[in-house]
Amino acid sequence: GQNIDQPTEMTATEGAIVQINCTYQTSGFNGLFWYQQHAGEAPTFLSYNVLDGLEEKGRFSSFLSRSKGYSYLLLKELQMKDSASYLCAVRDPRPGDYGQNFVFGPGTRLSVLP
């Protein structure tokens, strides 16, 4: 089956660092994605990991351990505008020419307080 878990809510202070965890169990794996979604808006792509290790992108970093089925998104120097939901998604390939599917977690709602 397909299962992706994330904490439901997190709160942090402006200027701080926050780590949002994601664990997954999927039938296949071909990359893990993090998306940011502000209330009432579409998700936007933040980061991508397909190999183990850390990918850094400005204030955002994402880590992957395929053997543990685990990823985290690290946000540094938090700003008020970072208040949003953060979605973890796994790309699950299909055999043959059947393409691929993206399975999303429930999302973590982050509130950044002054």
Residues that bind other proteins (CB under 8 A): 4, 31, 33, 35, 41-45, 48, 87, 89, 91, 94, 97-107, 109
Closer residue to other proteins (CB): 14 or 52: 52
Cβ 15 to other proteins, closest distance in Å? 27
Q: Tokens 């998104």 belong to which residue?
A: 73
Cβ 48 to other proteins, closest distance in Å? 4
The span from the CA of 42 to the CA of 34, in Å, is 13
The span from the CA of 106 to the CA of 24, in Å, is 12
Torsion region of 28: left, alpha or beta (phi above 0 gives left; psi -120 to 50 gives alpha): beta
Cβ 96 to other proteins, closest distance in Å? 10
Closer residue to other proteins (CB): 9 or 14: 9
Closer residue to other proteins (CB): 33 or 63: 33
Q: Tokens 């390939």 belong to which residue?
A: 93
Cβ 28 to other proteins, closest distance in Å? 13
Closer residue to other proteins (CB): 96 or 114: 96
Torsion region of 74: left, alpha or beta (phi above 0 gives left; psi -120 to 50 gives alpha): beta
